[in-house]
Amino acid sequence: MSNDERPWFLYLLECRDGSYYAGITNDLEARYRAHADGKGARYTRSHPPLRLLGSRSYPDRAAAARAEWEIKQLPKGKKLGFLTP
């Protein structure tokens, strides 16, 4: 499967300080490793991830990016519920 055919994922991380980080990727395992190794987003370099709380797949990057924007508008208490259908 080429990169163009792979689904995109919206994912939610719990950081060591209790905060949440939402992002998108087409390789969830590699992206989590990057965050854990301090090579991910600027936010997770200063707020290292504790665990992956969940993810949801999307057919393309545009759909995942829209979902990322939506989840970032929610209060923290509703973010996890966004990932469950």
For 52-74, the pLDDT digits (tens) are: 999 999 999 999 999 999 999 99
Structure-token pair, residue 59: 């057919």
> Domain ranges in the chain?
8-82
pLDDT, residue 5, reads: 78
**Quick count: other Cβ atoms within 10 Å of Cβ 61?**
14
- pLDDT tens for 3-33 read 567 899 999 999 999 999 999 999 999 999 9
What are the φ and ψ backbone dihedral angles of 11, each rounded to 5 degrees? -130, 155
pTM of the prediction?
0.91
The answer to whether residues 49 and 36 touch, using CB atoms and an 8 Å cutoff, is yes
| Fold annotation for 8-82 | GIY-YIG endonuclease (3.40.1440)
